[in-house]
Amino acid sequence: MSAESFSEFSSQAVGILEDELMDIDGSKLQVSPELRLSYFNPFLFDSGEKFTKYPFDAIVYREVSWEPTGLDQIDDIERWFLEETDSVEIPIAVVEFTEEQPLTSNAAVNQIALESLSKFDAILPMRVRYARFGSSSSSFEKDNNIVYSKLNSANYSTIQHSIVEPIQAHIAKYSDRELLEAFNLDEKVRRSDPEIFYHFNDVLWAYNHDRNNILVILLSVYFENYVKDLLEDYFEEAQDNPAASNFYDDDWGFDRCLNGCRSFGLLEDEDYNTINKIRDARNDYAHDIESFDSTYSTDAEDEGLIEDGIQLYEELIGVKKSIIDE
């Protein structure tokens, strides 16, 4: 029998996780097949800090009851939480599936993300390497608080032993209160920077008033800062490599940073294309006063990419209730 493909392996593994992962009270845990750039929640991490800027194949969440206080300055606060404002999703494990050979550039990039996540005691980072023609590992290796496992199939018993069991053992260590304390949510709320909320409210206003010109500029400003931060953080990790550290400087413009992020595997092609179209549209509006005529439209609007830009923006800032679903 031929070996299953890598995509089949990872899909089957995620399916078993969705069916089998249980919380300490016996309820099913939330497993998100995470294919986007990041999970950002301004209340889980320091303001402006991404949970992870690299793609993972699955993120395991626990929904924790929590009523935030001290956020009176934020309009539409219910958009940022589940079930209005009485609960929050807290990530408790991330799983990356990668092939044994060859070691892809994305896998190398994700190593940085795994190591950065390992500093959070309440998050279990895991790398599952698919050894299609190799032997599976009967035990788990743990290095720098990261769990490594090598598998050659996605059958139930293998996934149960190698992924489900270590995640559930980790989950059992934390009550809801301990998770809240680990992420120090109340303190983060007190120190939260309201800029991202004010920016979102401006995006919401522009969308509701059909002001695509303002909407495009607002989205472009956010995406430009995002890709610059993404690339700067990546090269900050490479400071020990003189060639890498001399390659990038903070004078790079939006276009160059955007292409750099794609070159280094920090952006998926779909997200690169969306951001690039928004950037092009922003240039139309920024450099030609005639474009502010109500009959004018850019390529991004003609191709229906404005909503794609909004969805990506909302995902990156952690909004749960989308403005385009209304």
pLDDT tier at 135 (50, 70, 90 boundaries)? low
Q: pLDDT tens-digit profile of 92-110?
A: 999 988 886 554 556 666 7
Q: pLDDT tens-digit profile of 296-316?
A: 677 777 777 888 899 999 888
What single-letter DSSP state applies at residue 152?
Answer: S
What single-letter DSSP state applies at residue 5?
Answer: P
Give the list of residues 6+ apart from residue 184 with CB closer than 8 angstroms, or none.
none
CA distance 152 to 150: 7
3-state secondary structure of 236: helix
pLDDT tier at 193 (50, 70, 90 boundaries)? low
> Cα 88 to the chain's mean position, in Å?
16
pLDDT tier at 21 (50, 70, 90 boundaries)? very high
CA distance 242 to 212: 43
Please list the residues that pair with 143 across neighbouring strands: 146
Across 1-15, average pLDDT? 80
Q: Pick the residue with more confidence: 27 or 108?
A: 27
Lowest mean pLDDT among 98-102, 135-139, 217-221, 277-281: 135-139
| Residue 1 confidence (pLDDT) above 50 | no
Greatest Cα-to-Cα distance within the chain, rounded to the nearest angstrom: 67
Strand order in the sheet with 124-130: 30-32, 58-65, 87-99, 124-130, 146-151, 141-143
The structure's pTM equals: 0.68
- Degrees, nearest 5: CA angle 51-322-295: 120
**What pLDDT, on a 0 to 100 scale, did the predictor assign at position 105?**
55
pLDDT tier at 148 (50, 70, 90 boundaries)? confident
| Residue 295 confidence (pLDDT) above 70 | no
Give yes or no for a contact between 37 and 55, defined as CB atoms under 8 angstroms apart: yes
Q: pLDDT tens-digit profile of 242-285?
A: 555 556 566 678 898 999 888 887 888 888 999 998 888 888 77
**What pLDDT, on a 0 to 100 scale, did the predictor assign at position 60?**
92
Give the H or E element holding residue 271.
helix 269-287
Q: pLDDT tens-digit profile of 168-189?
A: 999 999 999 899 888 877 777 6
Buried b (16+ CB within 10 A) or exposed e, 68-81: beebeebeeeebbb
Across 218-235, average pLDDT? 87
Going by C-alpha positions, the residue among 207, 200, 221, 216 that lies closest to residue 291 is 216
Give the list of residues 6+ apart from residue 310 with CB closer than 8 angstroms, or none.
203, 207, 215, 219, 322, 323, 324
**What pLDDT, on a 0 to 100 scale, did the predictor assign at position 174?**
92
| Residue 37 confidence (pLDDT) above 50 | no
CA distance 81 to 66: 10
Across 40-46, average pLDDT? 65
**What pLDDT, on a 0 to 100 scale, did the predictor assign at position 144?**
77
- Looking at every residue in the chain, the average pLDDT score rounds to 79
